[in-house]
Amino acid sequence: MNTIVHQARTPWWRGAWVRKNAIVLIFALFVVFGTAMSAGRLIEPTNISNILFQSAVIGVLALGEALVMLAGGIDLSIVALMVVTAIFMGGAGSEAQQQMSMSNALPYLGFLPAIAVAILGAAAAGFINGLMVVVLRIPAFIATLVMALVLAGLSMLFTGGAPIYNPDPFFANLGAVRMLTLPAPVYILVCVTIFVGFVLARSRFGVMLYALGGNRRAARLSGIPVERATIGVYTIAGLLAGLGGFLFLARTGSVSPTSGDNFLLGTIAAVVVGGVSLAGGKGTIRNAFFGVLFLATLSNLLNILLISPHIQDAISGVVIIVAIAINVRLDPDA
């Protein structure tokens, strides 16, 4: 007698290719839907340029957050770090410097030295985050939250709570420079995304991050320098936050201690929508980048449709939940 064995087959919609490209497919379908809803205004060249320009800052922040989350951590200080570095850079301009409540606390350096010091200082703050997590064994959530509070205090100290206007003209000029209709910060975001994605996918450091997020104990037993890798990823996140502050100043031309109030949730949401697991060990930089584009396009579409800001928040929340639910549903381990 022949025995017929029925093997359970994975549905096509949970296949490896669909799982790998879920956020790309969701984004493509959403663009088609949004184009129809907006009578084509969504995909007008000037509007696409605006979406990408608006994505530059949160995109760089999302790269740093994605790296930390892939390693099984979280960074709640990344936006506060962006703000304080932007404030420091903005203080390099003479007109902005005159507005500082404590000018002796932030001496005039010139815009290039100020940019270098601010970004290196951001990396140092990330390094301290890593030390708190590794050496003091403080949970990442608490360590980075404390760092965010310290940085918020520094922002108030440097500015007295007042916004900084008119930084060095370099920032305005950078935001105004366009190549093939796209602002220069967009190219910076794309180049950094490609570089970080390459490092994550092709280097030993990337392998270590996935191992840390997947199983920290197993990573340690396999010889991975867990402590150094953890400190390293928080340092890189700090460096990217500093770059985010640079791009923020180029995009807005001003900064205040409250400038990043709405950025943290958006940054984490973009990374999670892009398929990076909060538990660590799963996700890609490419998909995190598409998560940023998805949320930026959603916000832009709601503005085009003249939806009330309060209703926008509700709609965005529902869409984010649906996108995350789809990613979870496609996960074979879910």
- Considering the domain boundaries, does residue 300 fall inside one? yes
Condensed to tens digits (0 to 9), the pLDDT of residues 63-99 reads 999 999 999 999 999 999 999 999 988 876 545 455 5
- Considering the domain boundaries, does residue 303 fall inside one? yes
Structure token pair of residue 91? 């203080």
- Considering the domain boundaries, does residue 5 fall inside one? no
- Considering the domain boundaries, does residue 10 fall inside one? no
Q: Across residues 290-310, what is the average pLDDT?
A: 93
Q: Across residues 247-263, what is the average pLDDT?
A: 88
- Considering the domain boundaries, does residue 15 fall inside one? no
pLDDT over 90 (residue 37): yes
- Considering the domain boundaries, does residue 8 fall inside one? no
The pLDDT, as a whole number, for residue 159 is 82
pLDDT over 80 (residue 234): yes
- Split into its structural domains, the chain has a count of 1
Condensed to tens digits (0 to 9), the pLDDT of residues 150-186 reads 999 999 888 888 888 767 778 878 888 888 888 999 9
Q: Tell me the pLDDT of the chain averaged across its residues.
A: 87
**The domain spanning residue 193 has which CATH number?**
1.10.3470
Cβ atoms of residues 61 and 241 within 8 Å: yes
Q: Across residues 117-142, what is the average pLDDT?
A: 96
- Considering the domain boundaries, does residue 28 fall inside one? yes
Condensed to tens digits (0 to 9), the pLDDT of residues 189-205 reads 999 999 999 999 999 99
As a residue count, the chain comes to 334
Amino acid, res. 28: A
- Considering the domain boundaries, does residue 236 fall inside one? yes
The pLDDT, as a whole number, for residue 164 is 82
pLDDT over 90 (residue 292): yes
The pLDDT, as a whole number, for residue 20 is 79
Whole domain around residue 269: which residue ranges? 20-34+42-330
